[in-house]
Chains A and B, each alone.
Chain A
């Protein structure tokens, strides 16, 4: 492995990406849907002579500029930092294959951010028709950012047989478009567009909830009702689009969901199924809550109501993104790279030569203790999903198990047979016998007393 490994105690590595990504998605999807919202709202106001809408749209575009231009941009860079530290191998693969895609993406980002700033600062300063054109420029450039990023995100779940056929040949980037328009590209694009449209409505409700109805005539009522309607397409089309998406997901990944559904009654169903169900529930609840709070009684709509809707949207976004990420297991790039950054094609090599032999940043030499080797194995192969004693704690998981039981688990992971209970969502354990033995000793030491720990270290 070519990169050093970053350690985050407590929440673990997945949640570093998770927390940043969930907030970023809430904001970036709003940026995409919000551009369309502003352009359509302004066009409607001009066409129907609703002059009282303009001050409210101006206020919304200011909120929009701050939220997307500051928090959206900062959290976007945060994702780059975190994936670079947590999954450097996978990030490297994405950069090598999609360098052209990233270049296009950043061009659209620059146009998007610039036009958003121009749009806000030119309210009442340039002719209305020209201002609206700036709005459309913003809307189109932000939609284009989604069109591009969607290709890269969906590639990670379904790289497609063409790209998988050439991977490792050095000609992967020649098959850019095959990888880009992969099997889940279109359903995912429609799904994300629906989310963007509904988030545009949700965030608009946040702006208008702070206004006093008397200040702008009937504008608060009109805009709240109009914004609530932005949730309708997602509510109506999401189930069909979701089924379309699931149809395009490979059978092995679908199996992960089915595995959960089959054992739901006993409560042993997978986390991804639980979260997928929560995603369905929170998404459908948002529409009902928005109808009751906003559409039905727009005059009384207050910040606390809008915060409640926003929190539900956060739960829906968070759970959907979690489910999307988790369904990719045991891979980080479908059928190519496991979630612990081991490439499928390297499994045999690592088993023969040793995993740590190919790890540049692990301690080596005769003075290295078994404990250190075991820890290096843990850091390299387990820590992308587990922690020692925090999120998905190995200490808790292995509590009460003796050396034989831990050995059996590791053996099952190493053999990675298709009927193994771990096969569907855990990558295979790779390495030579002595490396696996070192990992076993390290895992056992997690539940030993301090004195026993000291012995193990020696």
Chain B
């Protein structure tokens, strides 16, 4: 008899579990549905753009896909492009999740890169010390740079949005000065000396010449994935992660519950900046091996976007970063073979974000269709309604 009761209870439990899993899955599906819809909508608008420019969108998309995921080499290039974006996307997500708009990931990335570069070329150490030390310098550099806006918001309540943007510009010019004056190696080019062998992150080609031929994909991807796993663990399984999540979900509730707001906010922002900086140094030690002035821009902003694309979750933004990296790799190949500017991809990603951010758009258009009976009238009614008084029900 007892065995029977336990059996039913187990059955009951498992059916409940099943229900729960279904609920979670359907939630996940609904969330991803929004992303997929946005990607499709952006692809359509992108096609129109290509038609205007006089290209066949099907050919372009096929080339794009081939160059992103179509071959082993493409995959390695995608990996290389995605590595820094994973760092900046995670960095953005941590900030977003703790309720901060860290628009300064860009600056923190490059400050981290230059700090790590300096440690990488200026010291002579065994690799076992040198590489970690360089990485640490990158992390600390990014965190330190994030500390400026953090301090201004925490002590004075100044919105981090303006200050992080300002520190981005300051970072750019500061680094230009560093690479042009104190750190410059030769009078010809504004770049630092090359980092020591002991501070380099090996590329796949170094390990096996046949693997990843002609690409610069490097083992830094494993550092990126380690960061993903660690942050995911922190958010899900630790007290710190709980505090971060709660502060991000409701600052007033967290304050009431006794979470130290200042500490949480500063901690989240510093870790966010640190991971951005770590991304910067990994990019240098793995790909460039020295800091060339203005070697690239936009890693931070792209990370912001990838994080938004991935719903600000750790796993989601990692997937989005890889997706973005793939698009970039594809666009690069596309530019080589067809001459279509690679910025096309940034435009498409921008469009995806627009469509995604506008979650209300679908229901908005849908409602119009229903009200007017015929689908065709939806848009007209929509244009008409734009300038007629809106109903107040939702807001009052």
Question: Are A and B part of the same complex?
Answer: no
Q: Which residues of B contact A (CB under 8 A)?
A: none
Q: Which residues of A contact B (CB under 8 A)?
A: none
